[in-house]
Amino acid sequence: MLDSRQATCIIELVQVLRGPGLGENGFVQIHISTNDGVPIYVQIVNQVKYLVASGRLAAGAELPPIRVLAERLIINPNTVARAYRELESAGVVEKRRTAGTYVSDQGSPLARRERVRILTGRIDALLAEARQMDIGFDDVVKLAQQRHAAMQGPSHEE
């Protein structure tokens, strides 16, 4: 059975599959859903973190102003403000006075810690799933090596 952290990771995974990303004109595309009860600001925080961690939001890129994002997503500006505050305290973004909110430099230890945290969550979920499917840890490691080789494969041949 999954605990709360694993459940959150699965949900984040689902949100990733739903596809935040860069839309046209380089705008940040975030999708909000009120179906699963997850607080809206948490959804925004998670999606922005993923975008940054996966490199789709480059360091130094500007996040939309609070008011603009609120109007686009049809949510309360306070919610967006709270999400931005959380992102700032997690070190993912930084607020430049009067200039807006920008993605912080990826080299900072805080940002890296964030990325490691996301990956840890993924690994935990993977391990839990494997346990459920009755696949041993050694098999999982072997599988991971196989997949890594397969991904490197074509570039070797080239």
Kindly list the residues in this chain that would bind another protein in the complex (CB under 8 A): 1-4, 7, 32, 34-40, 66-67, 70-71, 74-78, 81-82
User: For the chain, how far is it from start to end, CA to CA, in angstroms?
Assistant: 44
CB of 40 to another protein, least distance (A): 7
Distance between CA atoms of residues 64 and 153, nearest Å: 40
Looking at the Cβ atoms of 11 and 59, the one nearer to another protein is 11
Q: What is the largest CA-CA distance in the chain?
A: 55
Reading the block at residue 75, the tokens are 């949510």
CB of 51 to another protein, least distance (A): 21
CB of 59 to another protein, least distance (A): 26
The conformational region for residue 58 under phi > 0 = left, psi -120 to 50 = alpha, else beta, is beta
Looking at the Cβ atoms of 81 and 130, the one nearer to another protein is 81
Nearest C-alpha neighbor of 118 from the set 59, 63, 51: 51
Residue type, 106: Q
Looking at the Cβ atoms of 3 and 158, the one nearer to another protein is 3
Hey, which bits of 30-126 come out as E strands? 62-63, 93-96, 100-103
Looking at the Cβ atoms of 53 and 83, the one nearer to another protein is 83
Looking at the Cβ atoms of 71 and 139, the one nearer to another protein is 71
Distance between CA atoms of residues 45 and 79, nearest Å: 11
CB of 147 to another protein, least distance (A): 30
List beta partners, residue 103: 93
CB of 3 to another protein, least distance (A): 8
